[in-house]
Amino acid sequence: MSEDKKNDTVISLATYNERENIQTMIEQIFANVSDVDILVVDDNSPDGTGDFVAEYQCNEPRLKLLRRAGKLGLGTAMLDAMRYAVDNDYKYYINMDADMSHSPTYIPTLLEGVVSGGCDVMIGSRYVRGGGVEGWAASRRWMSYLVNLGARFLLGLKTFDNSGSFRCYKVELLKKIVSDVFISKGYSFLEEVLFRLKKKNATFGEIPITFIDRQYGRSKIDKKEAIAAIIVFLRLGIFGR
């Protein structure tokens, strides 16, 4: 059954040990867009991220919390958030990182691209003119470049930033894929969801953003994730599902 809500847009933040970032992130989102709901999908963070959000939401009806049993992967967290958006009849769904690497100042432009810009999916892109990355080592830049090259070559995606999670989607389109069985449980979900939406004739756009590497906590991305992503691309590219 759908929850009572006032807003058309829900923004999801997948969290695992983001206590140092989550309060600032929530406050900055609401400072930039007040007429949205925020859904925190927490994987039973040992640092108490979920408990903090549960306390915070007592005085903030726009804040929602989905607790999960443990660390189940970014892909499944985003898929659960998409299903939440569908089940609760939102019109627009935005995902962004919870570690302050995505600036909430871009949210209005990202949302506008879907609401009135004619796109089904608008991507906050590091790799179009005007976009960029701050704080990455050369190895991280090369890993991202190769993953995005693989996504374009193996999955036929035309967009440049297919591994970035800062995106806005029309929920009406997400209804067509949320019941699919996704291959990826981790970061390659980001490319897989674009691939599945492409097969549904979705339209895509990109706006430039500057990605700033996290200041607090540890990144969850490593070489194993990059290798796993390429394997997923090969399976999708060869078998189409």
Q: Which CATH number is 118's domain given?
A: 3.90.550.10
Q: What is the mean pLDDT of residues 107-129?
A: 95
What is the rounded CA–CA span in Å between residue 4 and residue 49?
24
How far apart are alpha carbons 91 and 171 in whole angstroms? 5
Report residue 127's pLDDT band, with 50, 70 and 90 as the boundaries: very high
16's enclosing H/E stretch is none
In a domain, 35, yes or no: yes
CA 125 to chain centre: 12
- How would residue 229 be classed by pLDDT, with cut points 50, 70 and 90? confident
Q: What average pLDDT score do residues 19-37 get? A: 96
Which is more confidently placed, 227 or 43?
Answer: 43
**201 in any annotated domain:** yes
**Residues spanned by the domain of 213:** 9-239
| Domain count across the chain | 1
- The Cα 126–Cα 206 span in angstroms is 9
pLDDT given for residue 5 in this prediction? 58
Q: Is 119 helix (H, G, I), strand (E, B) or coil?
A: coil
Give pLDDT, residue 239.
63
Q: How far is CA 58 from CA 19, 62, 63, 81, 166, in A?
A: 17, 10, 9, 21, 27
Tell me whether residue 3 is in a domain.
no
More confident residue, 217 or 125: 125
Token readout for 181 is 């069985």
Phi/psi of residue 73, each to 5°? 105, 145
Tokens of 158: 């035309």
DSSP classification of residue 66: E
Average pLDDT, the chain: 90
**Residues contacting 59, CB < 8 A, separation 6+:** none
Q: How many residues does the chain have?
A: 241
Domain assignment present for residue 2? The answer is no
Is there a contact between 21 and 48 (Cβ–Cβ < 8 Å)? no
| Other beta carbons within 10 Å of 216 | 12
Longest dimension (CA), the chain: 50
pLDDT for the residue numbered 234: 75
pLDDT in tens, 187-224: 889 999 999 999 999 999 999 999 998 665 555 455 67
- What is the SS3 assignment for 228? helix
Structure tokens at 33: 């867009």
Is the confidence at residue 43, as pLDDT, over 70? Answer: yes
Q: Of the given ranges (21-30, 54-63, 78-87, 133-142), which has the lowest mean pLDDT?
A: 133-142
**Domain-embedded: residue 1:** no
Residue at 97 is within a domain: yes
Structure tokens given for 73:
């992967």
Report the half-sphere exposure of 80 (CA within 13 A, side-chain side): 20
Residue 1 — pLDDT band, cuts 50, 70, 90? very low
pLDDT at 150 over 90: no
- pLDDT value at position 223? 66
* Backbone phi, psi, residue 87, to 5°: -65, -25
